[in-house]
Structures are given as C-alpha cells and as structure tokens.
C-alpha cells in the first residue's frame, strides 16, 4: 500500500445551520484501495454526513475530498455518483421499475449497450444470491432481505471501485443481517472493492471491517484496526465507545484471534 | 315546441363541437401551464405559498364572473396590441373563454401535481440522487411516473370542471352547450335546458371515464387500457370537432342580448340574410353592455338595440330629446364616433316602464309613477338584472323621489312570475312585452318623461359598413313592425303554454310582413 490512498478526506467541515453547529468538524480519513472501513458512532455523531461527502451528496463547507488524487468538488456530481455504489438503510428501490431495471439503472445512465446491461444484471443477481427470475418482478413483491440484496446488486452493477454503505442492513433482523453482511464481505474481497460503511453497531463493524473510524460529535476520535482500537484504548472516549456486552465481546475476541492467526500465516 | 327541439338537434353538433374545442383547448393549456408550474413549486419551496395562494384565489372567483372579467381585460390588451403591433385581439368569444377556463383548470392540476410530487418517498429520491441521476433525469424517470396517478386525478377533476364551466361561455359570445341552457332559461323551455345540461354532463362523464382508463393503464402498465383510453380521447375529440371544418368563412354573425325579443329579431335578421343566400351564425345571450362593444369591434356584424339604451349607456347622454330628434342624433353620433351604421328603426318601441297588476294598482289608486311615489316605501319592486344599475332607474328615482321598501332582481321570465304571485308589487317591464297585454298589467304613466324613448334600431358593424348586401337584405325590415305585432310575437315565445320557438315567432312576423308589404 505504498501508492497514494484511493480516498482522502482532508479536514472537512460541514454545518447545516449556517455555522452555529457543525455536523462534522475537521474530519480527516485516508482509505486505501481494497480496504473495508467502518465509521461507527452514535446517532448525531456526523458519520452519515462524512460518508455522503465522498460521493458529493453533501458538499463540505471547507476542506476537500480527493479520489485517486482528484478533488471531487471539481467533478460532475451525477457522473461521480454513477461510478460509486451506494447502499442505505432506506433501500430506496424504485417502486415503478422492475428489479432488472432497478439494478441496471446506473449502467443505463452511463450509456452501456443494452445487451451488456442485461448480462450484467444477471451476473450481479447471481453474485448477491438471488434467482434470475427476479428480473421481471416488482420491488413490492420482495421480502426485506431480498430487497436489501437487490440494493447491493444495484450498487455494484456499474462495476464501481468504491461502495458506500449507510447502515445498510439496519432494517433487517439479526440473522438476515449477519447473512447478508458476510455475503457482502465476500463480494468486497472478490470484486476488490473499497467499502466505507457507516454503522452504529460495533459488532458489525468489528466483524466486517479492516479499519474502524470512531466518531463523536462531528470529530474522529480514533481510526485504526479493530484489534488496535480494542486492545490499546488510547483514548478514553474511544474506550467508552468500544465497551461491548460480554457475549459480543467474546465473539469479537474470537474473530480477532482468528484474524491474527491468519495474518501471522501470511 | 316540436320545432324548437328539432332546431336544437340541428345545432347540437355545432354547439357540441364548440364545447369540446373550448374544453380541450383550456385543459391542454391548463396541463401545459400547470405541470411546469407544479415542478417549479416543488423544486423551490419559497414560491410554493404565493403561487398556490394566487391559483386558489382565482378559483374562488365565480366562473361566470371570471369569464366576464376577461372581456374588459382583453379590450384593454387589444387596444395595447393594436397601438404596438397594429392588430387587435378578439375580446369576445373563443379567446376570453379559453383563457378563463384555463385559469379555472389550473388549480386541480397544480395542487394535485404538487401533492403527488411532495408525497414521493424520500428514500426513493435519495436513491435517485445516489445512482447519479441529474435533476431532469430524476424528474422524468422517477418523480413524474410516481406522481402520475395523483396528477392524473387532478387532470380528471380539471376536465370535469372545465366542461361544466364552459357552459357559461354564452354571455360573452362563445357558443357552447350553454346556449341551450341560457336560451332555455330565457324562454322557459325546460327541455332545452335539460338538453344543454345532459349533453354537457354526458361529455364530462365520457371524458372522465376515458381519462380514468388512461390513468389505470399507466399505473398498472396495461398498454391495452392506456391505448384504448388515449385513442378514445383523440378520436372522440376529432369526431366531435368535424362540424367546425364544414363551417364557411364569410358568414354574417348576428348578435342578440339575453331576452326573447332579441332572439326573435336575430332569427328575423337571419331569415332575411339566409333568404338572400348568405350564411349566418348567431351569438345569442350577450350582455347589454357587451353587445354594442362587440359590434363596434367587429366581433358581431349586426344586432338590434334600443335608442334609449344607446343614448344613455353608449353616448352617456342624460338629456331627453324628442323621439325623432334622438334617432337622427343617434345615427350621426354612432357613425361619427364608432363607424357603426344605424340602418333605421324597426317601427316599435321597447321602453322600460313600471308595471303593476291591475287589481293591485286599483287597490292603491295608482295610475302613474307620480301616484306610486308616496306609497313606494311600503312596496316591493322586481326588476330585471340590469335595470337597477341603469341611468333610467336613477332618473326615475331622482325625478319622482322613488324609494321602494325592497328591491329584487330576476331574469325577465321569473320577474313576471314574481309579479303574478304577488312577491313584488311593481316590476320594470318592457313596453313591447307580450306579457303586458296577456297578464292585463297596468303600465304606469311617466308624466315627467324621465324615461327616454326606446326605438328598436338595426345596427351594422363598421366592418360591414360598406357591405351593400346586408343593407339590401335588412332595409325592408325598417318601419315594418308595430308594437302590437312585436308583443304578439314576444308572447308566442313567452307564454306559459304552447310556446313557440323564437324562429317560429320570427316566421310569424315574416308572414305578416309579406302579407302587408
């Protein structure tokens, strides 16, 4: 990872009320290609605002975001977003479009040939583990878990390098959440994606992410691997946030240990 | 009666075509104007309140008043365009009607579209932005289709309203199914009123159903229904408009105000012109003030007005001349100021007069307006819709110090009913009205000559001033109708039983003319 980072968030600030309160303040994060980064924090910590500056859904008041070294404020917003996958808790499937059309929307906006789009829709449906027959169905005939998989399929359809996720699986029950979470982590590795995921669920973050950014009141308190964050606990606030119920903590430790073994094997 | 229904069926295709053209144009304009406005209101919340407030305000103006307001508005605008670009705008007929109806159709379209757009799930909007749609793409691919059912419901409401309100176009000189209603109300021909209402209602229902089909087809992605609805709408509109294409250009447009005598006289003029082989077209039911301006601006070619009305309302003269002197002066001034040709007097007067039931007058010992004045505070007067705002009424009030206990306005037909039923004691009658003789009413004397004479005169528009054909066709009518004949003809139309159509009454006059040339 000696090359320059894929995403650089550089000292960005954003206020939604003309400067009285700041949603985020001097947030700086660098994310390397292929990394899976989770931003954790309680609600109101500014994590979603930080995420949305990456695809320019929110424009920072000061500071800048660079992707592959290019300042995104100089790029065309819609064009940028067509190349960045986005999954959020609200899912937001277009109810008047069939599943196929929903998935193929970004490629269509990018002007891909029709045949290529169709092939790609079939391909990504398979990647997220949905049957081909879903292509001609409408969103309202799907279960919550199925819809969330379609949302993931839509996000990766245009072969983005970067996928942003905002509480992506928050609306699902714990079992479905674990299942689709691990499916996604596999996809992330397989497709060599760079993923930034916002979550308030520390367990999810620890299980899925390579690095975790801890946010509170608009500031990043810590940004490190899960292992380091938990073991070193350099900051009192971070430590407070990293407190987990013992059952969860045990599972997390197990995963981390396993991780450690794998890493020492490399 | 039978002939009047047959006549009505004859003109039904034309009225229907006019009605469809009016409603369709207004609705189309309403959609073309309403949808972009709705998008603007949706995108810029700052303008939402003022725009919706203005459109709602328009909606509170009664339909008839809104239509009427466009007349002076367009007159002013016409004067402006005439001085700037050298051409005027027609202030009567199609243009003002369509503009007023367009404004009327705007509220349901705008309100529903805004509601539909605002009601779209915020997650869907966020997704549309996140997949990289531009605002235009988001509007066309996501917002418009999702709001479509609500927008269509608004368009359906607008369609039904517009078709209903289009019946009010008659008084500003635009033919529509409303002509049946207005003429029918005037002549108490309820079948005619029913015909007008029923055909407008049928048109509204069919349109609503076809739009419903389009809406269902669009929301359920049912191409068959969508196409059937759309084709039905297009073919139906096209088919009902065909009578318009067979209309000829050089037709004489004959105006008439909104009472039976005017209908009869316009039929009489039409008979004369058609007898000479010319095509004619009627603009019935014009307001009294509107009629002269319509003639002066060339929107109508010919109509009959009354010397006293022209004297007081058009020339704004308050002095009273002798009958002949007034006619001479009138002909000179109308020609000088407006280029209008006064062909001459038909031979009878239709003056305003105060009339009472004979028994009531006897009981109060009233013979003249002078006798009436001291008793007036205990009496009720019924008038037609314009009398109380006319200079004649102000002159009477001043000269005789008249002060009635109660003032009520009716359409002329109902005014006579009110007098007969004793709801009012005195009415503003017309001296040529057949109901005066038939109801044995007493016309009160006017010893102070407050009311000027009201000779019925034929007026020809400046546009037709040099037209010899129309003069030749109409000159035989000059001095040919006595007040007795006119009363009789009027009564044929106004009598409660065995009514004749205005056309039949006109024939009665023509038969008499040809018998006594």
Full residue range of the structural domain in which residue A118 is found: 93-160
H or E stretch at A198: strand A194-199
A57 interfacial to chain B (CB closer than 8 Å): yes
d(CA A97, CA A76): 26
Instruction: Count how many domains chain B has.
Output: 3
Minimal CA separation from A83 to chain B, in Å: 8
| Secondary structure (DSSP) of A59-127 | --SEEEEEETTEEGGGS-HHHHHHTEEEEETT----TTS-HHHHHTHHHHHTT--HHHHHHHHHHHHHH
Q: What is the pLDDT of residue A81?
A: 95
**Contacts with B423 (C-beta within 8 Å, 6 or more apart), sequence order:** B380, B382, B408
On average, the pLDDT of chain B sits at: 86
Which residues of B make CB contacts under 8 Å with A?
121-134, 137, 141-142, 145-146
Model confidence at A247, pLDDT cuts 50, 70, 90, reads low
Kindly write down the DSSP assignment for every residue of B292-335, as one continuous string.
Answer: HHHHHTTSSSEEEEEHHHIIIIIS-------HHHHHHHHHHHHH
* φ/ψ (deg, to 5) at B166: -65, -20
Tell me: do B74 and B168 sit in the same domain: yes
d(CA A205, CA B311): 93
Confidence class for position B166, pLDDT limits 50, 70, 90: very high
Per-residue model confidence as pLDDT tens digits over B70-98: 888 888 888 888 788 777 777 777 888 89
A112 touches chain B (CB under 8 A): no
Best of A96, A137, A138 to disrupt the B interface by mutation (most B CBs within 10 Å)? A96
Choose the closest CB to B130 out of A86, A96, A110: A86
- d(C-alpha A192, C-alpha A198), whole Å: 19
- Owner of token pair 């008043």: B65
Contacting residues of B for A93, CB less than 8 Å apart: 124, 127
Structural domain includes residue A21: no
Q: How far is A175 from chain B (nearest CA, A)?
A: 24
Of the candidate ranges A23-27, A163-167, B196-200, B276-280, the one whose mean pLDDT is the lowest: B276-280
Using a CB–CB cutoff of 8 Å, tell me whether A203 touches chain B.
no
Same-domain status, B439 and B505: no
CB within 8 Å: B121 and A92: yes
CATH number at residue B361: 3.40.190.120
CA–CA separation, B470 and B302 (whole Å):
9
> Cβ of A78 and B122 within 8 Å?
no
Helix (H, G, I), strand (E, B) or coil at B21: helix
Residues B191 and B302 in one domain: no
pLDDT at B444 over 50: yes
Reference B63, options B16, B107, B12; nearest CA is B107
Q: How many CB atoms lie within 10 A of CB B421?
A: 8
The per-residue pLDDT for A139 is 94
Instruction: Collect all residues of chain A within an 8 Å Cβ-Cβ radius of residue B123.
Output: 88, 90-92
ipTM value = 0.89
Locate the chain B residue with the closest alpha carbon to A139: B124
Mean pLDDT calculated for residue range B203-217:
91
Which letter does DSSP use for residue A19 in this model? T
Partner-chain contact A109 B130, CB within 8 Å: no
List of residues 6+ apart from A220 with CB closer than 8 A = A27, A28, A29, A213, A214
Q: Is A99 on the interface with B (CB under 8 A)?
A: no
Is B301 within a domain? Answer: yes
B-chain residue closest to A104, CA distance: B131
Residues B88 and B18 occupy one common structural domain: yes
By the CB < 8 Å criterion, does A92 face chain B?
yes
Beta bridge partners of A216: A219
Question: Rounded to an integer, what distance in angstroms lies between the CA atom of residue B250 and that of residue B267?
Answer: 18
Q: Which two tokens stand for residue A169?
A: 């699986």
Closest-CA residue of chain A to B219: A96
Report how far Cα B27 is from the mean position of its chain's Cα atoms. Answer: 20
> Is B449 contained in some domain?
no
The tally of domains found in chain A comes to 1
B258 and B109 in one domain? Answer: no
- What three-state secondary structure class fits B76? helix
- Residue A229 maps to a domain: no
Instruction: Tell me the per-residue pLDDT of B235-276, one tens digit each, with 9 for 90 and over.
Output: 998 888 887 776 545 688 899 988 889 999 999 999 888 877
The answer to the question of residue B288 being in a domain is: yes
Three-state secondary-structure class, residue B439: coil
* Beta-carbon separation of A57 and B130 below 8 A: yes
Domain assignment of residue A143, yes or no: yes
Do B257 and B343 lie in one domain? The reply is: yes
Would the pTM count as exceeding 0.90? no
pLDDT at B287: 79
Residues B152 and B287 in one domain: no
Question: Of B417, B443, B469, which residue constitutes the final position of a domain?
Answer: B443
Per-residue confidence (pLDDT) for residue A1, from 0 to 100: 44
Q: Are B398 and B369 in contact (CB under 8 A)?
A: no
**Closest chain B C-alpha to A90 CA, distance in angstroms:** 5
What CATH number should be reported for the domain holding residue B23?
Answer: 1.10.3720.10
CA distance A170 to A145: 11
Chain A: residue nearest B218 by CA?
Answer: A96
At residue A2 the predicted structure's pLDDT band, cuts being 50, 70 and 90, is very low
Q: How far is A231 from chain B (nearest CA, A)?
A: 37
Q: What is the pLDDT of residue A42?
A: 83
Residue of chain B minimizing CA distance to A55: B130
Same domain for B227 and B262: no
Burial of A205 from C-beta contacts in 10 A (0-12 / 13-18 / 19+):
buried
User: Are the Cβ atoms of A90 and B128 closer than 8 angstroms?
Assistant: no
- pLDDT score of B391 more than 80: no
Quote the minimal CA–CA distance from B233 to chain A in Å. Answer: 25
Token readout for A192 is 């060599």
Is A78 an 8 Å CB contact of chain B?
A: yes
| Residue B1 confidence (pLDDT) | 46
Cα–Cα distance list, B226 to B7, B202, B223, B230, B246 (Å): 38, 21, 5, 6, 31
Residue B408's beta-bridge partner residues?
Answer: B382
Give residue A249's pLDDT band: very low, low, confident or very high (50, 70, 90). Answer: low
Same domain, B338 and B368: no
Using the predicted structure, report yes or no on whether residue A260 has a pLDDT greater than 50.
no
Cβ contacts from A onto B, under 8 A = 60
Q: Where are the alpha helices (DSSP H) in B188-322?
A: 190-219, 223-245, 260-275, 288-296, 307-309
Answer whether residue B11 is part of any domain: yes
pLDDT at A264: 38
**Per-residue pLDDT, B323:** 83
Question: In the listed set B443, B470, B499, which residue is the last one of a domain according to the structure?
Answer: B443
| DSSP state, residue B368 | B
Q: Range with the lowest mean pLDDT among A9-23, A205-219, A232-246, B64-78?
A: A232-246
Task: With respect to residue B90, please indicate whether it lies within any of the assigned structural domains.
Answer: yes
Residue B467 dihedral angles phi and psi, to the nearest 5°: -80, 105
Q: Is residue A29 part of a domain?
A: no
Q: Do B126 and A95 touch (CB under 8 A)?
A: no
Read off the pLDDT of each residue in A41-70 and give the average, rounded to a whole number: 91
Under 8 Å between Cβ of B332 and B350: no
Provide the sign of the torsion angle of the four alpha carbons B246, B252, B258, B263, taken in this order.
Answer: negative
Does A24 reside within a domain? no
Contact A109 B129 (CB under 8 A): no
Tokens representing A35? 């990394």
Residue A261: inside a domain, yes or no? no
Separation in Å, CA of A244 to nearest CA in chain B? 31
Asked if A154 is an interface residue toward chain B (Cβ–Cβ < 8 A), one would say: yes
- For B165-184, what is the mean pLDDT? 86
* Helix extents (H) in B86-119: 94-118
Q: How many residues does this entry show for chain A?
A: 266
pLDDT in tens, A97-126: 999 999 999 999 999 999 999 999 999 999
Q: What is the pLDDT of residue A86?
A: 96
Average pLDDT for A61-82? 92
pLDDT at res. A3:
62
End-to-end CA distance of chain B: 29
Q: At A263, is the pLDDT very low, low, confident or very high (cuts 50, 70, 90)?
A: very low
Residues of B with CB below 8 A from A78's CB? Answer: 132-134, 137
> How many angstroms separate the CA of residue A232 from the nearest CA in chain B?
37
Asked whether residue B465 is domain-assigned, the answer is yes
- The per-residue DSSP string of B132-189 comes to T--HHHHIIIIIHHHHHHHHHHHHHHHHHHHHHHGGGGGGGT--STHHHHHHHHHHT-
What residues are paired with A133 via a beta bridge?
none
Residue A118 lies in a domain: yes
Q: How confident is the model at residue A144 (pLDDT cuts 50, 70, 90)?
A: confident
A177-231 pLDDT tens trace: 888 888 899 999 999 999 999 998 888 888 899 999 999 889 998 898 888 887 7
CB contact under 8 A, A94 and B127: yes
Same domain, B36 and B177: yes
Instruction: Tell me which of A249-258, B167-176, B428-437 is least confident.
Output: A249-258
Average per-residue pLDDT for chain A: 87
Position B217 in a domain: yes
Q: Which residue has the higher pLDDT, A25 or B321?
A: A25
Within 10 A of B246 (CB to CB), how many other CB atoms are there? Answer: 9
CA nearest to A79 within chain B: B132
Tokens for A49, please give them. 């605002």
Interchain contact, A109 vs B121, CB within 8 Å: no
One domain, residues B342 and B363: no
Containing structural domain, residue B291: 251-350+461-515
Average of per-residue pLDDT across B479-506: 86
Per-residue pLDDT of A30-40, as tens digits, reads: 999 999 999 99
Write out chain B residues lying below 8 Å of A57, CB-based.
126, 129-130
User: For B329-365, how does the pLDDT look when each residue is reduced to its tens digit (9 = 90+)?
Assistant: 999 999 988 889 999 999 898 888 899 999 989 998 9
Residues B260 and B286 in one domain: yes
- The mean pLDDT of B298-327, rounded to a whole number, is 86
Q: Quickly list DSSP for B371-424.
A: HHGGGGGG-EEEE-TTGGGSHHHHHHHHHHT---SEEEE--HHHHHHHHHTTS-
């Amino acid at each position: 990872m000696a090359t320059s980072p894929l995403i650089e968030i550089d000292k960005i600030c954003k206020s939604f009320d003309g400067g009285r309160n700041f949603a985020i303040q001097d947030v700086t994060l660098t994310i390397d290609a292929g990394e899976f980064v989770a931003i954790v924090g309680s609600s109101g910590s500014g994590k979603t605002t930080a995420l949305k500056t990456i695809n320019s859904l929110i424009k920072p008041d000061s500071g800048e975001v660079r992707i592959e070294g290019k300042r995104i404020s100089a790029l065309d917003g819609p064009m940028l977003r067509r190349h960045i996958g986005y999954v959020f808790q609200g899912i937001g499937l277009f109810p008047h479009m069939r599943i196929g059309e929903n998935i193929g929307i970004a490629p269509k906006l990018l002007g891909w040939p029709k045949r290529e789009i169709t092939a790609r829709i079939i391909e990504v449906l398979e990647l997220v583990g949905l049957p081909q027959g879903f292509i001609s169905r409408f969103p309202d005939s799907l279960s919550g878990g199925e819809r969330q998989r379609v949302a993931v399929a839509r996000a990766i359809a245009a072969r983005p390098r970067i996928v942003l996720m905002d509480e992506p699986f928050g609306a699902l029950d714990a079992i479905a959440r674990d299942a689709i979470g691990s499916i996604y982590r596999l996809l992330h590795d397989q497709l060599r994606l760079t993923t930034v995921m916002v979550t308030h669920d520390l367990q999810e973050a620890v299980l899925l992410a390579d690095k975790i950014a801890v946010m509170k009141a608009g500031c990043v308190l810590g940004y490190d691997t899960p292992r380091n964050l938990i073991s070193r606990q350099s900051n009192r606030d971070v430590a407070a946030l990293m407190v987990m119920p013992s059952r969860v903590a045990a599972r997390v430790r197990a995963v981390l240990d396993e991780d450690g073994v794998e890493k020492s094997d490399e | 009666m039978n002939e009047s229904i047959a006549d009505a069926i004859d003109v039904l295709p034309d009225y229907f075509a006019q009605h469809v053209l009016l409603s369709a144009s207004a609705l189309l304009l309403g959609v073309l104007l309403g949808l972009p406005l709705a998008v603007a209101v949706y995108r810029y919340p700052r303008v939402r309140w003022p725009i919706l407030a203005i459109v709602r305000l328009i909606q509170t103006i009664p339909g008839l008043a809104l239509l009427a307001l466009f007349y002076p508005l367009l007159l002013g605008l016409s004067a402006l365009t005439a001085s700037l670009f050298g051409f005027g705008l027609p202030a009567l007929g199609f243009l003002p009607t369509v503009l007023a109806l367009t404004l009327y159709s705007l509220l349901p379209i705008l309100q529903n579209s805004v509601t539909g757009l605002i009601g779209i799930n915020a997650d869907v909007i966020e997704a549309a932005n996140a997949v990289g749609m531009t605002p235009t793409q988001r509007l066309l691919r996501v917002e418009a289709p999702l709001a479509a059912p609500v927008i269509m419901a608004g368009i359906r409401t607008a369609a039904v309203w517009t078709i209903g309100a289009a019946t009010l176009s008659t008084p500003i000189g635009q033919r529509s199914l409303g002509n049946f209603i207005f003429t029918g109300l005037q002549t108490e021909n309820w079948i005619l009123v029913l015909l007008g209402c029923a055909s407008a209602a049928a048109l509204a229902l069919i349109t609503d159903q076809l739009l419903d089909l389009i809406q269902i087809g669009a929301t359920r992605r049912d191409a068959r229904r969508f196409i059937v609805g759309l084709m039905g709408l297009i073919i139906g509109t096209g088919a009902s408009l065909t009578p318009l294409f067979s209309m000829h250009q050089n037709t004489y447009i004959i105006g008439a105000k909104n009472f039976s005598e005017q209908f009869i006289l316009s039929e009489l003029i039409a008979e004369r012109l058609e007898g000479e082989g010319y095509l004619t077209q009627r603009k019935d039911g014009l307001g009294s003030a509107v009629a002269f301006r319509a003639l002066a601006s060339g929107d109508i070619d010919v109509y009959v007005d009354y010397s006293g009305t022209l004297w007081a309302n058009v020339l704004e003269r308050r002095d009273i001349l002798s009958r002949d002197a007034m006619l001479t002066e009138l002909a000179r001034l109308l020609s000088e100021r407006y280029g209008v040709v006064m062909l001459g007097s038909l031979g009878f007067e239709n003056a305003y007069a105060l009339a009472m039931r004979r028994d009531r007058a006897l009981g109060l010992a009233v013979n003249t307006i002078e006798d009436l004045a001291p008793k007036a505070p205990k009496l009720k007067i019924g008038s037609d819709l314009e009398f109380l705002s006319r200079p004649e009424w102000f002159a009477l009030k001043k000269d005789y110090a008249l002060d009635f206990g109660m003032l009520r306005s009716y359409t002329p037909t109902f005014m006579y009913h009110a007098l007969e039923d004793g709801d009012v004691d005195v009415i503003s009658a017309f001296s040529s009205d057949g109901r005066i003789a038939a109801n044995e009413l007493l016309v009160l004397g006017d010893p102070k000559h407050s009311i000027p004479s009201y000779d019925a005169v034929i007026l020809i528009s400046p546009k037709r001033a040099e037209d010899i054909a129309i003069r030749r066709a109409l000159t035989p009518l000059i001095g040919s109708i006595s007040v007795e004949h006119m009363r009789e003809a009027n009564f044929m139309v106004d009598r409660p039983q065995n009514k004749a159509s205005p056309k039949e009454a006109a024939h009665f006059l023509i038969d008499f003319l040809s018998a006594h040339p």
